[in-house]
């Protein structure tokens, strides 16, 4: 999965890109981004991922009921 995310970064920003996360962290190179993503993924308990996956149908239904408009609340 991590390689998939890094490939997305490469496709949209080239090998070295200027990426800023929602948390305000700025990454100038995809290798640094890869390290931080890996640390984030490994820092989460398996329940974090399974809970998020289990919530997807409810979140998708909410979007569908809003005429496919994605609203962050």
**Six-digit token string for 68:** 């496919």
**Average of per-residue pLDDT values in the chain:** 73
| 52 lies in some domain | yes
User: In this predicted model, which residue has the larger pLDDT, 12 or 59?
Assistant: 59
| 72 lies in some domain | no
Range of the domain at 33: 1-66
| 71 lies in some domain | no
Question: Which residue, 32, 48, 71, 52, is CA-closest to 21?
Answer: 32
In tens, the pLDDT along 27-40 reads 666 677 778 788 88
What is the pLDDT, as a whole number, of residue 8? 60
Task: Report the Cα 69 to chain-centroid distance in Å.
Answer: 19
In tens, the pLDDT along 47-62 reads 998 999 999 999 888 8
| 58 lies in some domain | yes
Number of domains in the chain: 1
| 73 lies in some domain | no
pTM flag (> 0.75): no
| 9 lies in some domain | yes
| 19 lies in some domain | yes
| 7 lies in some domain | yes
Q: What are phi and psi of 26, to 5 degrees?
A: -110, 130
């Amino acid at each position: 999965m991590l390689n998939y995310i890094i490939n997305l970064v490469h496709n949209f920003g080239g090998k070295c890109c200027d990426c800023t996360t929602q948390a305000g962290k700025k990454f100038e190179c995809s290798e640094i981004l890869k390290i931080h993503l890996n640390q984030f993924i490994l820092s989460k308990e398996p329940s974090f991922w399974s809970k998020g996956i289990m919530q997807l149908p409810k979140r998708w239904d909410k979007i569908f009921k809003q005429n496919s408009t994605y609203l962050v609340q």
